[in-house]
Structure 1
Amino acid sequence: MSQKFPNLLHASLNYRRVVSFEMHTIEFLRVGESKVIDIGSPDLPILKIKEQKGGSIRYKPIIPGSSIKGAVRSEYSRVLSGLPEDTLKSLFGYSKLFTEKDLKSNYDSYEIFNIIVNSMTNKENNEVGLLDLLFGSDFFASPTIFTDAIVSNEAEEYIGERYHIRIDVDRDAVMENSLLNVEAVYPGTRFTFKIIYNSLDFGVKDESPVDKAFNVLVSSFLDNREMFLGGFKSRGYGLVRLKKIDDRKFTPEELVGVKNG
């Protein structure tokens, strides 16, 4: 029965919101691959794309949208978890952040849909976590999509190699005469990416708690925020600053090219 209504939760779209951000690296940034691909490659390379310009070839870093989404979800969750219940209700009209029940194992898609709608419309019976509805979970496809971040500024080089002491994890000690070379994006590099949000019809009037949570996320929480992204944070990597540069909303009619009036 769990496959009977696979797309029910995304059956009705109120609007789509597309928000563009610029990301500025303040420190070296590592969002990397897990293994060496070529002889002579650094021990820890990063994700990058090859660009041919004239007769020369250079590499531009790329940050997967999944990495940005994971970092943003973690940061947003950490901050909201520190707010008292009455503040959450004032912001979103909803206070439950995380789902405690195992909905996927115990209910079919139709029942989950009804539980979500009941949580959205009944202020005294919030069973589903707001952050699960905003960012997605194992029982609910995410209405919030993060695109990959691509380089937006011109520079001769975007990527450098740095050397660090190698640690023997078995002994938890420094390995003698052994250095680890890693690739990292230079500070001062700029990226752009988009967050695309699909506002779903939960049967509530005006904005749903999920709509409100997204609005707070992109309108105040992320704009001009400094946060950490990627690996090697304990070695001083990953500090970036985000800035909102565009924000557009599209109705279903606009998405299919229908003009009102």
Structure 2
Amino acid sequence: MIIMLHNSLKYRQIVSFKIETLEFLHVGETKAIGIESADLPIMKITENGKFKPIIPGSSIKGAIRNEYSRVLSSLSSQKLKELFNYTKLFTDENLKEETSEKIREIILNSIKNEGKVGLLDLLFGSEFFASPTIFTDAHIQNNLEEYVTERYHIRIDPDRDAVMKNALVEVEAAYPGLEFAFKIIYNSLDFGLGNVETPVDKAFNNLIEFLDGREMFLGGFKSRGYGLVRLKKENDLLLKVEDLIGGSK
């Protein structure tokens, strides 16, 4: 059950980012396709006859949420209050038992007077309500002959946590030095607080500052040196409601 908050829109913020791969990157398919495929293929699209890697927005969102959550969790309540005027990061578990109308009421009350809903859920969404923050897929920006390679690693027996004899796993990965572009789209909702920044607005703006120039990990095989990337903000566009009605881009 996902609750949609149909509050009025105050503004929409569209922030463009680039991702630079600093190490090999593996954002994988669920399974190999075809006899000649690698054991662990990556997500790809076909464009002009070439296979190009793509990073799903859901993968970017998950990695960013984990990174941001880890850092915010280390801050004191006093610092969280100073940054966001809100100190609760995680939603109470018993919210699952409430009706959809009750959850909506709890969310609105939480914005006005810090309540049961955590700031991270208010920003990124949860199993109970849709996110005001949308992450697009990241598409390759380089024009190259080759974007991916196949690498071999020893296979680990998960039951024994030991190396399997005479067994290799073939991992497909995007090369270091590639550039991807994606956007984060934030819908600022009117929670009846007037023209002041809500805690969610503050959290989003802080998130953008947090991400600009940050090195972090994406995808799988991190323990084997995969996934280190650098993010860089390229553009930040704020659209008021009248801009959206007028068709501004």
Class of the TM-score when normalised by the shorter of the 2 chains: over 0.9
Q: What is the aligned partner in structure 2 of residue 167 from structure 1?
A: 156
Once residues 143 and 150 of structure 1 are traced to their aligned partners in structure 2, the CA distance between those partners, rounded to angstroms, is 22
In the alignment, structure 1 residue 76 sits paired with structure 2 residue 64: no
**2:43: which partner in 1?**
47
Aligned counterparts of 1:192 and 1:199: Cα–Cα separation in 2: 23
In structure 1, the partner of 2:9 is 13
Q: Which residue of 1 aligns with 2:54?
A: 62
Q: Does 2:138 align with 1:149?
A: yes
Q: Give the secondary-structure state (helix, strand or coil) at the position aligned to 1:39.
A: coil
The 8 Å contact of residues 124 and 131 in structure 2, kept in 1 or not, is answered as yes
Once the two structures are overlaid, the 10-residue window that deviates more, 22-31 or 200-209, is 200-209
Q: SS of 1:249's equivalent?
A: strand
Q: Is the 8 A contact 2:148 2:173 kept in 1?
A: yes
Q: Does the 8 A contact of 1:33 with 1:45 survive in 2?
A: yes
Gaps of 5+ in 1: none
Task: Tell me if structure 2 keeps the 8 A contact 1:94–1:126.
Answer: no
Question: d(CA) in 2 for partners of 1:138 and 1:35?
Answer: 26
In 1, distance between residues paired with 2:93 and 2:28? Answer: 34
Distance 1:154 1:13 in 2: 38
Asked whether 1:133 is paired with 2:122, we answer yes
Displacement after TM superposition at 1:100 (Å): 1.1
- What corresponds to 2:183 in structure 1? 194
1:203 is aligned to 2:192: yes
Q: Deviations over 1:1-35 (max 9, x none)?
A: x99xx64x123111100000000000000000121
| Normalised TM-score (structure 1) | 0.90
Counterpart of 2:245 in structure 1 is 256
Tell whether 2:111 aligns with 1:114: no
- The alpha carbon displacement at 1:97 in A equals 0.5
1:90 maps onto 2:86 in alignment: no
Q: Distance in 1 between matches of 2:64 and 2:51?
A: 26
Q: Secondary structure at the match of 1:242?
A: strand
In the alignment, what sits opposite 1:176?
A: 165
Tell me if structure 2 keeps the 8 A contact 1:30–1:46: yes
C-alpha change, 1:82 and 1:47, in structure 2 (3 Å) is same
CA distance in 2, matches of 1:138, 1:102: 13
TM-score scaled to structure 2, two decimals? 0.94
Q: CA deviation at 1:258?
A: 7.2
Identity %: 65
Indicate the structure (1 or 2) with the bigger Cα radius of gyration: 1
Counterpart for residue 207 of structure 2:
217
Task: Say whether 1:37 aligns with 2:26.
Answer: no
Over the residues paired in the alignment, what is the CA RMSD in angstroms? 1.7
CA distance in 2, matches of 1:161, 1:93: 48
1:59-84 alpha-carbon deviations (Å, 9 max, x no partner): 10000000000000000001000000
Report how many aligned residue pairs link the two structures. 247
Q: Distance in 2 between matches of 1:139 and 1:177?
A: 47
Q: Aligned in 2, Cα 1:121/1:247: closer, same or farther, shift over 3 Å?
A: same
Bigger shift: 175-184 or 221-230? 175-184
Match of 2:20 among 8, 20, 24: 24
> Which ranges of 4 or more aligned residues in structure 1 deviate by more than 3 Å?
none
Give yes or no for contact 2:7–2:191 (8 Å, CA) kept in 1.
no
